[in-house]
A and B are shown apart, each in its own frame.
Chain A
Amino acid sequence: AQSVTQPDIHITVSEGASLELRCNYSYGATPYLFWYVQSPGQGLQLLLKYFSGDTLVQGIKGFEAEFKRSQSSFNLRKPSVHWSDAAEYFCAVGAGGGADGLTFGKGTHLIIQP
């Protein structure tokens, strides 16, 4: 069965500093990988996705993520965070085709310090 681990429950970053959120997955084949963001009181919004090809993927709001097969990781990065980036971030793995739903990690709560 597929699974996702986000080892950091909370991360605090100063505004303007760089950010890396960690994600490790377990899946038997080539995974489909996603990062979603959830702002308070809102649904989840897709930041970026990896299906195949270039292992460095660009997303919305200046985020990027790198797929590393050898480490079973798909870490999310941003060079300079803004106060509006404060939110809950979820990494997810899917079997592809949109079927069987996505398996989400527990999430990382990002706090931005002024």
Chain B
Amino acid sequence: DSGVTQTPKHLITATGQRVTLRCSPRSGDLSVYWYQQSLDQGLQFLIQYYNGEERAKGNILERFSAQQFPDLHSELNLSSLELGDSALYFCASSMFGPGELFFGEGSRLTVL
């Protein structure tokens, strides 16, 4: 158990819909990262938050947004969903500084 909790574990929705994925980082970790894993693209870094502030942005679509709340949990919002958004979305956390990322078990999104 990494200590990172992601909900929901599975989500099935239709094109055009909006979903929210939630992540609770390990106790004490200030940084939260979101990654998208798909068969064709592999693991893609989406966005990082540190103590409530956006720290770095990767290959995140404009239809996607995220935030980190004062209690340090984070949410990834995916809107106007397309079939190609079907993927496994991982959240990871770390203490700021050179170190390892602790990954949650992921949220599998299926868009029909």
Which A residues have a C-beta under 8 Å from some C-beta of B? Answer: 32, 34, 36, 41-46, 49, 51, 90, 96-107
Task: Select from chain B the residue with minimum beta-carbon distance to A96.
Answer: B98
List A contacts of B104 (CB < 8 A). 43
Contact between B96 and A103 (Cβ–Cβ < 8 Å)? Answer: no
Instruction: Describe A's contact surface by its main secondary structure.
Output: loop
In the complex, which of the residues A51, A99, A102, A106 contacts B42, with contact meaning CB atoms closer than 8 Å? A106
Take A43-B2, A43-B103 as given contacts and tell me if A103 and B45 are in contact as well, using a CB distance cutoff of 8 Å.
yes
Give A36 to B50 CA distance when docked, in angstroms.
22
Contact between A101 and B48 (Cβ–Cβ < 8 Å)? Answer: yes
Q: List 30 A-B contacts (CB under 8 A).
A: A34-B100, A41-B105, A42-B105, A43-B4, A43-B92, A43-B103, A43-B104, A45-B103, A46-B100, A46-B101, A46-B102, A49-B100, A51-B98, A97-B97, A98-B94, A98-B96, A98-B98, A99-B48, A99-B56, A100-B55, A100-B56, A100-B58, A101-B35, A101-B45, A101-B48, A104-B42, A105-B42, A106-B42, A107-B42, A107-B43
Is B109 in contact with chain A by the CB < 8 A criterion?
no
Take A97-B98, A99-B56, A102-B101 as given contacts and tell me if A44 and B90 are in contact as well, using a CB distance cutoff of 8 Å.
yes
List A contacts of B35 (CB < 8 A). 101
Take A43-B4, A44-B90, A99-B55 as given contacts and tell me if A104 and B43 are in contact as well, using a CB distance cutoff of 8 Å.
yes
Is B31 in contact with chain A by the CB < 8 A criterion?
yes
What's the minimum C-beta distance from A21 to chain B, rounded to whole angstroms? Answer: 15
List B contacts of A32 (CB < 8 A). 98
Give A98 to B90 CA distance when docked, in angstroms.
16
Give A2 to B103 CA distance when docked, in angstroms.
21
Is B106 in contact with chain A by the CB < 8 A criterion?
yes
List A contacts of B97 (CB < 8 A). 97-98
